[in-house]
A and B are shown apart, each in its own frame.
Chain A
Amino acid sequence: MNLRRGIGPGAYSAATHLIHFALIVALPLLLLVGVLLWRSVAQEREQLEQRVQQVLDALVTALDRDLDRQLTILQTLSTSPSLIAEDWAAFDDQARNSLRGKGYLVVIDMAGRQIINTYVPYGAAPATTGDPETLQRIRQVTRPVVSNVFTSLVVKAPVYNVSIPVVRAGEPRFILSLGSTPADLLALLDDQKMQPYWTTVIWDGKGEILARSREHARFVGTPVAPELRALPVGRLVRHLDLRGEDVVVAAARLKLSDWSIAVAYPTSLIDRQVTNSILFWAGTILMVGALVVGLAYFFGRDLAGPLKAATAAAGALGRGERIEVRDTKIVEVNAVITALKRAERDIDAGSAALRESEEHLRMAAEAAQFGGHEYDVISDRTLRSAQFLRLVGAGEGERTATFERGLGFVHPDDREATRQRKQQILAGTDNRYQLEYRIRRPDGQVRWVMDRGVVVRDPSGRAHRVVGVLLDISDLKASEQRQQLLLEELNHRVKNTLAIVQSLAQQTLRSRPEPRDFVVAFEARLASLARAHNLLTRDSWRGALLRQIMATALAPFIAEGQPIRMEGPPVMVPAGATITLCLMVHELATNAAKYGALSRAGGVLATSWTVTERESSVEIDLHWSEEGGPPTSPPQKLGFGSRLLAASARQLGGTFDIDYAPGGVRCRLRFSVAREIDANMGNAKASVDA
């Protein structure tokens, strides 16, 4: 298994997952920080506005109080006896004392003539007033008036007057004015202890500047910005101030004059705060982000190591290698590794047991010489065991085969029938099957196999698996066939023997029509035949040694104690020839016992043979010699004996000569037997000689 398969769409490293996780956690926090910052900026702005309003209120109060103080001074002076007495010198003196340098007092009459001006020495006052406006207004309203700024005739600089009328008999008689330079107002502005970058400006009813907290000297007496004059009271407004600075400004009107006052602070102050907050926020985001990614990376690395270890452990398990992984710092990963190690132990134990069981099965298969095969119907795939491959002579590369290829090893003559049978088995309902067919191995060897097994069917009866074994039954088949052949051969022999017996009976009856004679002769011949069979049965009908054949055929005469000699080398005679020889010798011996050497005492029968080995055969030259019997002569007619001897010799493929010499019968039988029979000679000889 390859871990790489885990990498695809939707799969990320542990570090990436950690980064995601941390970012998901951090994001709301960062948003919260942003909201808090925004709110604090808003609050700051609000506080600033409140402060502006406060400062404005305080300034208005302070200025009104100052004007009120000046009015009070004027009221006090207006009640002076020297004024009432119009003692101007005394009044001048009194006024100078009261003011003590705080401003200067001007007294004018209603025609605008200056009577007293404390700014200059007594009597040096200018002829007319420098503030005709105030004169004009008091003429109209007969009330205290605070003037606009104007240029004083004596001070030669912008000043303002606070004036009251002096009324005599209901008519204004004089005007008392207290003159002050606007610079005096600066002290009031300064008293408010405003931030240095704040600007305060006071202007008169005509819109000319009385005082300015910054650069007063430059702007005093100059007109104030028109929009400031139009400014609604108690509202903050943005505008460009006289110096071209973008400011936020609020204005208020004084009670005791038609002066106005405005407090301004630069918008940059607020903007800077917003900018600072945004910068701070961005910085926070960056820092938190970097921290999160960094930490995730480091923790991810800490995770990756152990995970890699677990992967390695799983990989080793998959490849069947030893798991050589040490414990990590992560409990869960350790649990996985431990589980894998346990699985490894289980697999080891399991595979050891499996190996053992497989070994047993293999040994059993080896011992039983069967080859296993398993056919999967759905995938059309046969799996064959090593023993199977050995059995059919196939290589390791043919462990698997399809149904069709699997029939390749079947002998061409049996292939079609086997295919049909197997298809019938698959299509049928039986759960067991057994087939026999021939196979042809690549080396050309043809073997018989038995193929038997079980068919595994699903509930609907459809075959989906066939498990079977192949067994080499060539030996069994061969022995079966041998047995069949043997049975046929036995049947053949029995029938052949019966035919011989039938013939014996017919031939005996021909020469011995008398029942008594017939029975004796027939029984003797039958007995001879029976002994020949006995002899052959001893060696599984492979044949018999010539000496044994002679001894068997002559047995009744040897048992009577007749002088019979047998000389010759050991030579094996096949089964068919054995019976023929037995019958021939029996006829000759019967004849000898009746008419020849064995018919009286002193007669001797000598048999001998020589053997000549040829390339594929063995030539046997058998001599029969009778001596000491009564004189013999050739028979008058060709009897059964003579015919049998001649025919038997022909049957043996040999020649038979008989000489009825007066001294005794002499015969010579020459015939050949197949040489292969010699193979058993040694054994046969040994068993006979023993």
Chain B
Amino acid sequence: MPQGHSSAGEVLSLAGIRVLVVEDEALVLLSLEDMLTELGCDVVVAMRVDDALAKAAEFTFDVALLDVNVAGRRVDPVAALLARRGIPFILSTGYEDVSGLQLSDARAILNKPYLATDLRAALRTALGSTLAQASEAGS
């Protein structure tokens, strides 16, 4: 379910937003990649926690989409690193209950399977002020 409602709405473009996608399921990753690419985002993917950590440390992103469980490992270290770096992130999970996870900094939570509109809304929620600034700069 999308968390919150962005006042920016559909007017704000997601083009040029750099997104880190951490997802171990190949098929899901492919679809996400397609969806985000269609939205105009620049996508960097990671299918392992180590890989994700390395990319999160090396590059700068506007937002990250993290699968909670990545190839048998919890994504917490990545979330912690992103939080330290001030990069907003969205959690996607098949688990109903994410309470007790050390992921409280998440801006939005997506429950699998989710629709493209859910993803867009979550991204807008997560990006919030960043998007507004970008659109002001653009106009």
**What is A's interface to B at a CB cutoff of 8 Å?**
488, 491-496, 498-504, 506-507, 510, 576, 580, 583, 640, 643-644, 647-648, 650-651, 653
Contact = CB atoms under 8 A, between A and B. Distances in A.
A488 B97 contact: yes
Interface in B27-71: 27-31, 34, 47-48, 69, 71
B136 interface: no
Nearest to A488: B95
Given A498-B113, A502-B113, A651-B25, A491 B96 contact: yes
Interface in B79-97: 93-97
Nearest to B69: A492
A493 B29 CA distance: 16
Contacts of A498: 112-113
Contacts of A650: 26, 47
Which 6 pairs across A and B sit closest by C-beta, in order of nearness?
A: A495-B94, A647-B26, A503-B27, A492-B94, A503-B31, A499-B113
B112 A499 contact: yes
Contacts of B29: 647, 651
Given A495-B94, A651-B47, A653-B71, A500 B25 contact: yes
Interface string B94-130: 1111000000000000011100000000000000000
A499 B30 contact: no
Contacts of B48: 653
Contacts, number: 73
B124 to A, nearest CB: 21
A514 to B, nearest CB: 19
Size class of B's contact patch? 20 to 34
Nearest to A640: B30
B28 A507 contact: no
A194 B97 CA distance: 143
Contacts of B25: 496, 499-500, 503, 651
A584 to B, nearest CB: 9
B94 A499 contact: yes
A492 B93 CA distance: 8
11 contacts: A492-B93, A495-B113, A501-B113, A502-B31, A503-B28, A503-B30, A507-B30, A576-B71, A644-B27, A650-B26, A651-B47
A664 to B, nearest CB: 25
Nearest to B97: A488
Contacts of A493: 94
Contacts of A496: 25, 28, 94, 112
Nearest to B46: A650
Contacts of A503: 25, 27-28, 30-31
B27 A500 contact: yes
A496 B94 CA distance: 6
Contacts of B97: 488
B73 to A, nearest CB: 12
Nearest to A510: B34
Given A500-B28, A503-B31, 14 more contacts: A496-B25, A496-B112, A498-B113, A499-B94, A502-B31, A502-B113, A507-B27, A507-B30, A510-B34, A580-B26, A644-B30, A648-B26, A651-B25, A653-B71
Contacts of B69: 492
A575 to B, nearest CB: 11
A580 to B, nearest CB: 6
A304 B8 CA distance: 112
Nearest to A645: B26
A506 B94 contact: no
A389 B93 CA distance: 46
B26 A644 contact: yes
A644 B30 CA distance: 7
Nearest to A500: B27
Given A496-B94, A650-B47, A507 B26 contact: no
A583 B26 CA distance: 10
A493 B69 CA distance: 11
A551 to B, nearest CB: 22
Contact of B95 (A491, A507, A576, A647): A491
A651 B28 CA distance: 11
Contacts of A500: 25, 27-28
Contacts of A644: 26-27, 30
Contact of B26 (A495, A506, A510, A651): A651
Interface in B1-36: 24-31, 34
Contacts of B28: 496, 499-500, 502-503
A576 B26 CA distance: 11
Nearest to A646: B26
Contacts of A576: 71
Contacts of A583: 26-27
B27 A504 contact: yes
A583 B25 CA distance: 12
B23 to A, nearest CB: 9
A484 to B, nearest CB: 10
A495 B31 contact: no
A640 B29 CA distance: 12
A487 to B, nearest CB: 10
Contacts of B94: 491-496, 499
B90 to A, nearest CB: 15
A47 B47 CA distance: 149
A496 B112 CA distance: 7
Nearest to B31: A503
A499 B34 CA distance: 14
A650 B96 CA distance: 27
Contacts of A499: 25, 27-28, 94, 112-113
A647 B31 CA distance: 11
Nearest to B47: A650
Nearest to A674: B72
Nearest to B92: A499
A506 B47 contact: no
Given A492-B69, A496-B25, A506 B96 contact: no
A168 B96 CA distance: 185
B31 A507 contact: yes
Contacts of B93: 492
A507 B33 CA distance: 11
A640 B33 CA distance: 12
A506 B112 contact: no
A644 to B, nearest CB: 6
